[in-house]
Every structure is written in structure tokens, then in C-alpha cells.
Structure 1
Amino acid sequence: MSETLQDCQRQNGAVWAEDQGSILSFGNDKFALKAVQNGAALWDRTHWGRLQFTDQDRLSFLHNQTTNTFKTLKPGEGCESVFVTSTARTIDLVSAYVTEEAVLLLVSPTRRAQLMSWCDRYIFFGDKVKIEDITTQTITFSLLGPESSRLLHKLGISDLPESPHHHITTQIKGHTVRVASGSGLTTPGYTLFADAEVGADLWQALTEQDACPLGEKVWEQLRVSEGRPKPDAELTEDFNPLEAGLWQTISFDKGCYIGQETIARLNTYQGVKQRLWGIQLGESVSVDTPITLEDKKVGVLTSLVETAEGPVGLGYVKTKAGDAGAQVSVGTVTGTLVEVPFLTYPQWTPDPTP
């Protein structure tokens, strides 16, 4: 019997999370963090969802359903975009990759079924678009770290894509692999897609070139430290993508899409009164702890991780509470607001009103 992907990962020391959907750790967390900083780390994202959109209206359909521009994208290009409700509340941040015949969406693990149902809802009679959930038929790995490109060069890939979310189809050890620029974070890297049956061979090829396996525990540290919002934490129906710092995923001149009216109004009238911050803390506190300033609630903590520099969190804070360097109270603990690289915001003057 041929070796499976889980067999290979077990040999690398994988310990699966309780739901068995993702790998919690490889028992090498310190080494994996160093690899992200100085080498190349390998993260299995196969538990994320992959939705494939085909037929001739696929680009216009996604153009009308999400915040970014799709109609002008060419095969080999891609983008990040956000699905929002009609009132512009966030559903998911997705990565899109346009091929000759389809658009592939990489979606968050907890939003796969919801987005399939959501999109089905908006396919009307006469629309020429088909959606297929290809998650179980495929695998996705991400390489993170400054040596990622050199590692792929060693596997024979000479013409790597450089622009964000641009991608190519290539061969690794005789297998067809789609290689896209971007690691899922601001950390340099690449994301690879392939058929499920080649997962073990591809994993082995990458680890043989010294890619250091990385589990969810380290990914969560990186995610929070860099500020990538995730569903059920920062991306919920309590917040919109402007508050979540996802301005880079929004086109303000592409015309109508679901939630566009609310987003346009918030932008025009500078109506964003809270934003997502990184928060450096002196001690650990519980997620959902209120954030206060002078005994008045100004926000809420949405994520927290332990790092070598101490506890780091993400939280929504009213703009009137201050800018980077401002100190707030998170429960009984003092926190300092810090910029995080994944998020983007316009240079607005904070609204002085509550």
C-alpha cells in the first residue's frame, strides 16, 4: 500500500487537533518559527475549503458577490476578496485564482459549507455559472519564509510568479502543481494546489528540501501577530470589512455587489468608528474581554496568543481611543495598541464623538 499524506506527516511528528481536521503541532514549534523568519516552513492547509466556479459567467458572478474586482482578471492572476452580507457584515476573506477554465476560491475551514449555500442562493435562472466543492479531491500547502523561492528553484521551478496571487501550473517530481505567490500572510511565500493523490509525494519532496513542517499552533501565533482576521473571531456579523482593515480587498468603483451600498456610505462619510488593532499585553486574558479607556468600554478582545515577547492579541477599538502606542485596559491588564502588517486603513482624522 502506498504511503499516504498522513503517514508522511506522522513521520514528521504530527499531532492532530481533536477534530482531526488539522495538525496542531509537529513538536517543533520553536524551529518552525525560526524557519518562517530565516528559512522555509511548510503548512498543510488541506483542511481549508476549495470551491471551483466554472462556466462563462463565473467572473461576473464573483464580481457581483464579493468586494473586489473580478471582471478584469486574466488566467494566471488572482486577488483577495470578502464575502459580505447585504448590510456589509463579514462572512469570509477568500483568495481567488483565475485559470483558463475556472476560478478557484480558497476559503476558511469554517466557511466552506456556508459559502456553497450562499452562492447557490444567488444563482438565478439564466446564469451560466456552476460551483463545485473540490476540497476532498485536492490538497493545499503553503510555504512561508524568505527561503521559499530558493527551495522551489531547487525542485526545478525557475519561473515563479511574483505579483500577489499570480500563479502558474508546473511539475514537481512528475506531478502537476499550481504554485501561487503568497503565503496567506505578509510573510513571503507560496501556496501550492494539487490533486489529493499526490499529497504524500509533494509533502515528501518539500521536506526533503528542508522545508520545516509547521502546525496550527504556530500558524495562529503568526496570524495574530501579523493581524490576519479570521471567521468567528474578527470576521463576524458584528463587524464590516472596513473595520476589519481589509481595505486592500475592496474596490470602490466597480459598481454594484452585495453590501456595496453600506460600504460606499461608510467610506464616503468616514463612518468607520472602530478598527482592528494588534494589542501587546502584560498578561494573558480571555478572548471577549472588554477593552476600556478611563473606565469606558471602547472595544473587545477577539484573539490572543502567547509569543516569546509575551501575550499578543487582536481587538476592535473605537477610533477615539487613540492611535498606535496608546494604552488601554483589557480587563484588569494594561494593553498597548500596535500596528500589524496585514491590515490597511486610510489616513482619517478620528471622529471625536463616541
Structure 2
Amino acid sequence: MKTDSSKPQFDALPTAFACRMDSMATICVSGDEKYSYLQGQLTCDLDTLNERMLLSGAHCDAKGKVFSVFRLFEHNDEVMMLMSKESAQASLVQLQKFAVFAKAELAISECGVLALAGTDIANVLTSQIGDLPSEKTPVITHQDLTLVYVSGRHDSYLLAGPEASLDKFLTRLELPVYSGCVWNLLEILNGFPHLSDSAIGEYVPQMLNVQALGGISFTKGCYMGQETVARMKYLGKNKRAMFTLQGQSNELVDSSSLLEKQLGDNWRRGGNITSLYQADNGELYIQAVLANDTDVDDIFRIKDLADTVLTQIPLPYDLTDE
């Protein structure tokens, strides 16, 4: 099915649509010790995982800096970690380095993944497969496919399985299909980190709101970067958080651009972009790490585009919830 390469603003998206996940990659983990190995590498608690459960988490270096933020679920006896394509390359190298000491194999999965979204997508899917996954039971199987419910401001679903099966299912749905950049837009609005190259290795998990997403276990055993993550929580060391901004620009904006914050008649450095989506009409949706005391009324701009005014879109979760 042909992919629509346009980049619509959020309000112009149809009530049901699909996204090809070309901006994402999945690390698959197999082997007898896959769970125990990942338990010592990731911020989430793998001991709570079962075939109907979805976990969020982060993979950090020894200093607690994040390589990737992911959604994790099981598919065909493998653990699947879905993340930005840039993050997957960084995480895979590090995870493979230490996996030589465990009975665990890691690779970029050849399994395909689609995103299904829109205000009417649940009705469309129900007409095809019946009962759907939910917040309580977020992962189900349908034939050789795994269907995952993704909660947020804009609920959606992930569908994982063989590419041929995905294409067949997508043909039955008869939905418009967008590229992965539209999924990035949904992630930005849902406040789920989608890390670009410039953001990898720069932040600890709490700066990316991973604790607010339920992606950090503070009671599990040791894992890579745990000391820094714990210090941020118990000593109150973290001074930054991730926010969503919206604006307009006729100029192309790059994720490496710096943000400035308005202070009276002046502007000062305000933060860094972790991800962005720029619609064809110039509308901007930006995911950025800012001071964690940022007020909802604070005004920002792109440093090199002085006429670009950026305002905050409230996050769909509470940042104080750790």
C-alpha cells in the first residue's frame, strides 16, 4: 500500500490511519538468560514482564546517561525493544558488548512494526479482530501478529509481526498510511521520548520524564547507571525535565537548534531539542529538555529564528509522580 509522504499538522490527521515505522527500530533479545541479562541493563523491572504486559524504560551508560528510551514487549518468545532508529544503533552496540557473558543474543529485528492511530481506530480494529488490548492488558496476539495498546493523550496501537502479514492486514483495513515522522508527532504529543542523534548520551532518565512514564524501578536490583538515577531521585539533584512546545515557522528547523527563553525584554538560553516534527504548513511540535521549574506561560523561541514563538502544550502525565 502506498505511503503518503506528506506531513500534516495534528488537527488535519484522519480519524483512523497507519504509520510505517521507518523512523523506529526494534532490538530483539533471545536466549535462555535474556530476562536476567536485561534486568541488569535496563531501568525497568523485567521480573514483572509477562506475555500480556508492556514496559517502558531506558538503557543507560555507567554514568546514567541515556542511550535509548523504549517500549518493551514479548513477541514469539523474544523480547522486543522499540525505540528511535538512532537510539537502537547506540543501544545495540552497548548491549551486545556485555551479552558475551550471558546466554542472550541481540540484533536489530527483521520483524515489522506498524502504528495504528486516530480517534476511530479502535472501532476499525474491533471490526477486524474483535477484542482489543487495553491499559489493563496491553498486549495480545492475533494469528502471527502481536497487537500492543499504547496509552497517552492520543491512544494508539502497535502491530508487530512478519512484513507480509502486516501488509495483508493493512490492506484489509483500507487506511491512509503515513511515514514514521507522523508517529514521531504522536510521540511528542504523548510526551514519550524519541531521541535524535544529538540527544543520545546527554541526559539521565529523569530529564526525559522516564519516571513519570513508569519506566524506572527504584526497588529492583543493580543495573547500569543505577547510582546516578537513584541520586537524582533521593537527593533531588535533577533540575531538568522534558516538555512539549508548539509554534510556527516558514523556515526549516533542525533538531540541533538551540532554544531561548524570554525573560522580560531579553532572551537567554532555554534548553535543547530532543525531537521535532514540522508539518508542511510550518506548524512545529517540539520535544525539548528545559529547566524543570518551567512555567506553563513561559515563552521560547528558536535561537536562530527570532520570530518563532514557542508555547507549551501540557503533558498528559504528572511530572511529580516518581
Question: TM-score higher than 0.5 here?
Answer: yes
1:156-195 matches, within 5 Å, as 157-163=129-135, 166-171=138-143, 176-182=144-150, 186-195=153-162
1:338 CA drift (Å): 3.5
In the aligned structure 2, how far is the partner of 1:131 from the partner of 1:274? 32
Aligned to 1:228: 192
Q: Which runs of 5+ in 1 are unaligned?
A: 1-7, 16-24, 349-354
1:177 CA drift (Å): 1.5
Aligned to 1:133: 108
Alpha-carbon deviations, 1:69-89, whole Å to 9, x = none? 111212222211111111111
Equivalent position SS for 1:346: coil
Q: In the superposition, relative to structure 1, how do residues 101 and 233 fare at CA in structure 2: closer, same or farther (>3 Å)? A: closer
1:238 to 175, 193, 202: 202
Equivalent position SS for 1:231: coil
1:50 to 21, 26, 51: 26
Answer yes or no: is the 8 Å Cα contact 1:57–1:129 preserved in 2.
Answer: yes
- Structure 1 vs Structure 2 CA RMSD: 3.0
Answer yes or no: is the 8 Å Cα contact 1:69–1:251 preserved in 2.
Answer: yes
1:275 CA drift (Å): 1.8
Answer yes or no: is the 8 Å Cα contact 1:92–1:235 preserved in 2.
Answer: no
2:92 to 116, 132, 138: 116
In the aligned structure 2, how far is the partner of 1:274 from the partner of 1:254? 24
Aligned to 1:319: 292
Q: In the superposition, relative to structure 1, how do residues 347 and 66 fare at CA in structure 2: closer, same or farther (>3 Å)? A: closer
In the aligned structure 2, how far is the partner of 1:70 from the partner of 1:238? 25
Larger Rg: 1
Aligned to 1:62: 38
1:330 CA drift (Å): 4.1
Answer yes or no: is the 8 Å Cα contact 2:249–2:283 preserved in 1.
Answer: yes
In the aligned structure 2, how far is the partner of 1:28 from the partner of 1:306? 7
Moved >6 Å (runs of 4+): none
Aligned to 2:127: 154
Aligned to 1:335: 310
1:253 to 194, 219, 239: 219
1:158 CA drift (Å): 2.2
Normalising by structure 1, we get a TM-score of 0.76
1:67 CA drift (Å): 0.8
Alpha-carbon deviations, 1:172-205, whole Å to 9, x = none? xxxx22111127x642121111212333312211
Q: Which runs of 5+ in 2 are unaligned?
A: none
Answer yes or no: is the 8 Å Cα contact 1:46–1:139 preserved in 2.
Answer: no
Aligned to 1:345: 319
Aligned to 1:77: 53
2:168 to 201, 212, 216: 201
- Matching residue's letter, 2:297: G
- Matching residue's letter, 2:231: R
Percent identity reads 18
Equivalent position SS for 1:291: strand
Q: In the superposition, relative to structure 1, how do residues 222 and 95 fare at CA in structure 2: closer, same or farther (>3 Å)? A: closer
Normalising by structure 2, we get a TM-score of 0.83
Aligned to 2:245: 279
1:319 CA drift (Å): 3.3
In the aligned structure 2, how far is the partner of 1:212 from the partner of 1:31? 15
In the aligned structure 2, how far is the partner of 1:301 from the partner of 1:203? 33
1:297 to 265, 269, 275: 269
Alpha-carbon deviations, 1:314-337, whole Å to 9, x = none? 3222235x3211234543344333
In the aligned structure 2, how far is the partner of 1:277 from the partner of 1:284? 22
Answer yes or no: is the 8 Å Cα contact 2:297–2:312 preserved in 1.
Answer: yes
1:302 CA drift (Å): 4.3
